[in-house]
């Protein structure tokens, strides 16, 4: 949940020796472990008061729900099935017990949506602010997990919903795209996928890095949420900037063959959402096409997404 995350992950990856039991180590949406029964998915996400949320604004129930939901979203990004969660919590000393209950009820609310049991935890009191870490386990579907590294030249880049302005509420109330991802993976050979937590421009870039390819987005094709428009009206920034670089949409961006992409776009087979084609995978470069012009797209958040 932090912008500094990726440097550290790269540092860590270089120091993680290959291990026979590890199919995918640090750097994808989840790790993938070799298990006799099929790939085992593991992911962890920490939410920190003041950095990832403000308890006074959101309330403990919604924070608990979000802590669980962001991990479910990581499992969704592998087209996996979540199976169990463990939770560790650092509680402020004042009112910690009632806080813990509300957190837990929020966690259960969204975990129950996907029949995910909370199987263990570690609850502590301390003098620091609220700190919550959830670890989620999952299984891959028979087609295997969808990694960030599988995008192919000519692939269509698609997204599962409108983007931007999550700050206005969606980041607390989103429903992780677990079922939608599984269904998509049944219907098409998903080449690469990621959930949008840092913003489209940044997260799609992770796919390009891992797949060693480039991408061109079509500005007019990017679905912009109502919240992005509302925010743009307030802050004067272009709506498109919000859609490209606001974080925590938790929609999925994925790549498929041209043929699969055309079919998905025509058939719109996932109830409750509209699939959008927003660009294509190219050999190199990272650009956005607008009014017939291609501009470099910065793989980063919020400000100055596009150099122009």
Is 122 a binding residue for its own copies by CB under 8 A? The answer is: yes
Contact residue for its own copies among 42, 187, 221, 273 (CB under 8 A): 42
Backbone angles phi, psi at 171, to 5 degrees: -65, -20
Contact residue for its own copies among 59, 109, 123, 149 (CB under 8 A): 123
Is 89 a binding residue for its own copies by CB under 8 A? The answer is: yes
CA distance 232 to 50: 24
Is 44 a binding residue for its own copies by CB under 8 A? The answer is: yes
Contact residue for its own copies among 104, 114, 250, 286 (CB under 8 A): 104
Is 95 a binding residue for its own copies by CB under 8 A? The answer is: no
- Stretch of 130-138, 158-166, 226-234, 298-306 lying at the interface with its own copies (CB under 8 A): 130-138
Residues 230-289 that bind its own copies (CB under 8 A): none
* Shorter beta-carbon distance to its own copies: residue 94 or 115: 115
* Shorter beta-carbon distance to its own copies: residue 30 or 245: 30
> Quick check: 268 and 158 in contact, CB under 8 A?
no
Is 119 a binding residue for its own copies by CB under 8 A? The answer is: yes
* Shorter beta-carbon distance to its own copies: residue 44 or 257: 44
* Shorter beta-carbon distance to its own copies: residue 49 or 251: 49
Contact residue for its own copies among 10, 54, 120, 267 (CB under 8 A): 120
Angle at 116 between CA 124 and CA 139, to 5 degrees: 110
Q: Which residues bind its own copies (CB under 8 A)?
A: 1-2, 4-5, 7-9, 11-12, 15-17, 19, 21-22, 24-26, 30-31, 33, 35-37, 40, 42-46, 48-52, 83-84, 86-90, 96-97, 100-101, 104, 108, 115, 117-129, 131, 133, 135, 137
């Amino acid at each position: 949940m932090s912008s500094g995350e990726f440097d550290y992950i790269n540092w860590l990856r270089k120091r993680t020796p290959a291990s026979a039991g590890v199919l995918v180590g640090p750097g994808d949406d989840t790790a993938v472990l070799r298990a006799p029964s099929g790939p085992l998915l593991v992911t962890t996400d920490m939410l920190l008061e003041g950095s990832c949320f403000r308890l006074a604004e959101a309330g403990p129930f919604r924070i608990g729900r979000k802590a669980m939901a962001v991990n479910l979203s990581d499992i969704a990004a592998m087209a996996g099935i979540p199976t169990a969660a463990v939770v560790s919590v650092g509680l402020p000393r004042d009112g910690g017990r009632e806080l813990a209950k509300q957190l837990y009820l929020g966690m259960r609310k969204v975990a129950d949506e996907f029949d995910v049991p909370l199987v263990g935890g570690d609850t502590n009191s301390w003098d620091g602010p609220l700190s919550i870490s959830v670890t989620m386990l999952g299984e891959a579907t028979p087609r295997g997990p969808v990694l960030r590294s599988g995008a192919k030249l000519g692939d269509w880049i698609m997204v599962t919903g409108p983007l931007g302005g999550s700050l206005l509420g969606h980041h607390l109330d989103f429903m992780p795209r677990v079922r939608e991802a599984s269904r998509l993976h049944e219907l098409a050979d998903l080449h690469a996928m990621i959930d949008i937590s840092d913003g489209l421009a940044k997260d799609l870039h992770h796919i390009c890095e891992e797949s060693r390819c480039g991408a061109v987005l079509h500005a007019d094709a990017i679905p912009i949420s109502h919240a992005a428009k509302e925010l743009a009206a307030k802050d004067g920034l272009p709506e498109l900037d919000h859609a490209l670089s606001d974080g925590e949409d938790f929609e999925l961006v994925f790549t498929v063959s041209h043929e699969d992409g055309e079919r998905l776009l025509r058939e719109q087979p996932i109830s409750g959402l509209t699939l959008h084609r927003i660009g294509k995978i190219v050999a190199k470069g990272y650009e956005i096409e607008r009014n017939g012009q291609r501009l470099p797209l910065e793989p980063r958040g919020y400000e100055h997404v596009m150099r122009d």
